[in-house]
Amino acid sequence: MPNMTVEKVGEIDLRDFGEIGIRCGDVNGDGKTELIIPQMSDAPVRKASAGGYPHEKTVHCITVLDLEGNILWQKGTPIGAAAHKHHGPGAFVVHDFDADGRDEIIYATQRDNLVFVRRLRGTDGECLAERETGATYVAMPTNLRGLGSRRDVVIGTGLSLVFAYDENLDPIWEWAYFYGGGHEHAAADVEGKGVDDLFIGVNRLDAQGNRIWWRPDLDDAMEGMRRCPHIDHVVVDELRPGSGDRQVLWFGGKDVVCLDAISGKLLWRFRGTHLQEGTIGRFDPSRDDKQICLFDKEEPGHPSFMLTSDGELLWKKPFGRTSLLAGAGPDGRDLLLAKKAFSGEPPFIGDHNGNCLATFPLPAAASGPGDRGFGWCARSLPVDDEGTRQVLVYNRSRLFRFALIAK
């Protein structure tokens, strides 16, 4: 594959409102990408999840700015760029819930030792709805009512409680179970019913919150915490494009597990120490199926693994945490973006063989996986009107915007 170059096209001083979890969206409907930065901290009273889970977060400041760095609005008081651990995605989602062409923001916050879920208008941050809730950890848009788009939101605690709301934050249902849901859930209409099924932890639920299947027998593949075993990330994908078959992949336990989405049948299992953050894409020009890049959080050396769609190992290298650069390769194939480089390395772009195609011209990362805000993070932007692919590289203090150029 030909090499690539990166060209810096913008720089933003994030001052005191920066964070290592930046979202992208179109909050004003102008067709351009805006940056939405939530600052989160540990909830002062951890009562919204079983056992007072220490990753429980609430949002206290939101800043929205354009790609040139102009602040469009800010709600709350920023806490500065000091080191603090931002673990997990937090209950914060940017999405067009009312289908008007402009994104809104739904998130969890805390006031007077009570937890609230709020929906803000994206154009100016005005609060459109608020309701007391019991979840602060993860949120995702979903289609539970069959309205043709994802106008509902599911919010979880990371462990045992899940709440479903419509776009006005009116409750639809709530659900409790034992095995934990972790950092990321998935929603997909795997049987063409016009509504999403939910894949939370070891479960598949229907749109009414009824359990279709669950696999607690695979608890030895999960992260074995004293409170309860759980799965950090759940992803639904079609590993063989065009087959019509969907697979459920569990990342962020001990092993990676691949299940049939409809039946819950175990298809394969790749054993590790604490495998996380699977990046799925069509990386290899010589293959028709997708490949899966994994990161092991606890194995010495923190290696990454590239697997086939059947769970067979292609390579093992120190590669760091990755995300997807969809269709960014010169041949239209997907590339890997090292979104959290190892200490002593800057973020880079890699191919299906784990080779570096381009390195971002920045000082090497001060810290890598487990970063508390001083090392670099990276994420891709949607392709702009001219077909240019861009990447953001940032920490809590500065943000750089790079254009990717194929040579």
Q: Could you tell me which of 40, 87, 37 has the C-alpha nearest to residue 62? A: 37
Taking only the tens of pLDDT, the chain with its 407 residues reads 457 899 999 999 998 898 888 999 999 999 999 999 998 876 655 554 544 455 667 888 999 999 999 999 999 988 775 555 555 557 899 999 999 999 999 999 888 878 899 999 999 999 999 999 887 788 999 999 999 999 999 998 777 789 999 999 999 999 887 677 778 899 999 999 999 999 998 999 999 999 999 998 998 888 766 556 778 889 999 999 999 999 999 997 889 999 999 999 999 999 999 898 889 999 999 999 999 999 898 888 889 999 999 999 999 988 878 889 999 887 889 999 987 666 567 788 999 998 989 999 887 765 544 444 457 788 899 877 777 889 999 888 899 999 998 76
The predicted structure's pLDDT at residue 371: 47
Residue 330 exposed, middle or buried by CB count within 10 Å (0-12, 13-18, 19+) = middle
CA 190 to chain centre: 21
Which pTM value belongs to this model?
A: 0.92
The predicted structure's pLDDT at residue 1: 46
- Number of residues written out for the chain: 407
Specify whether the backbone of 314 is left (phi greater than 0), alpha (psi in -120 to 50) or beta.
Answer: alpha
Q: How far is CA 51 from CA 182, 184, 221, in A?
A: 14, 19, 22
380, 403 contact by CB (below 8 A):
no
